[in-house]
Structure 1
Amino acid sequence: MGSLSYLVVEEIVEEVTAITISAWPAADGRGRLRFEGTEPAEVAVTTEMLQAELYDGWLNRERRIGDVFAAVVNQDVLDEATESVWRGPLKRLLPGPVYDLTAEARTVAKLALYAARSDILTEGEAAANAMDEKEVRNDEPANHRAELDGRGDAT
């Protein structure tokens, strides 16, 4: 099995959802994500299939622009999936575990925005503002789905 890829729901237009599939990002010396290497692949999938096979029975919410997943992508199927609207099953494209990284990706994006717009605090300043003790809560469903079964049922 190959390495993890980074999947982002980029656009939702009625019955079609666009997903960008990139190589796994690296972090630079300042902790910023860097996507290097090959150009990302653009895959259009039917919104109904994506909802049924990935979201229903696991995340139990509607898909949103900006949702982020990690998964091993079947590279042999990827070329076929980029030719037109991919009608699945999604399990052919994503044959193994799928991880929901949406909450983490949104946090990283916020941190990058805040870092770009603010001064760097010293450890003392962070402690004085209780920023070193913030508890992170995750009330979301489990962020891991063992595999897709083609019907949206977790296996």
Structure 2
Amino acid sequence: MVQLPNIPNITVPFSVVVLVHFFFASQVQLTPLFAGWVPSYLFTHLGLMMIALWVAYQKRDFEPIIAYIIAVAISMLNDIIMLGLYFEDAQDATDGEKSKIRDTWRYSAALVIIHLLAKPLCILYALFAAFMRYNARREGNANDYERIGGSDGQQ
């Protein structure tokens, strides 16, 4: 896989997952309407992005992948709860308005729903990454382990 320059052990595909999470989380923050949703969504997805970076950095370990899957499941639950609690109240607050606030709120709510629908794909991708790491470890791939001893690996 292609390596990013000056950043050790971060492969491009999982970095793309981090960028997708960052895009959705930053675009949802456009809504100034309800104070309850924004901090919860921000902190949940900030933690999710940090765990995804951990997965990208630790290529040999399974713990980051398991933590990432759990974090995605928690963020899905959080998104469902936040949509259930604030969607109708925010819709009622913006019904009579013909302003940018209503349009911005609808845009943010649509992105929350799209991000929520994309998260099962992120879980499947993480499971695939775990499977590939397991296969590489089982086959004893020389690229996954450091050599001990001389430059050719023999003493």
What's the TM-score bracket when you normalise by the shorter of the two chains? under 0.3
Q: Which has the higher strand share?
A: 1
* TM-score, normalised relative to structure 1: 0.25
> Is the radius of gyration larger for structure 1 or structure 2?
2
